[in-house]
Structure 1
Amino acid sequence: MANECQPSKLVCPTKRILNMKEAASYLGMSVTTFREHVVPKVAGIKLMPHRISYDIEALNRFIDKASGKEPDPREDSFWDKYR
Structure 2
Amino acid sequence: MARTRHMHQRMGQRGVTSRLVDLTSHYGMESGDRIVLDRKNVEELLAGLETFRKDLLSIHEKGGLVVIESGETQITVYRTDSFNQKKKATYAKH
Q: TM class, shorter-chain normalised?
A: under 0.3
Which of 1 and 2 has greater Rg? 2
Q: TM-score, normalised by structure 1?
A: 0.23
More helix by share: 2
Query: Larger relative contact order (C-alpha < 8 A, sep ≥ 6)?
Result: 1
Q: TM-score, normalised by structure 2?
A: 0.21
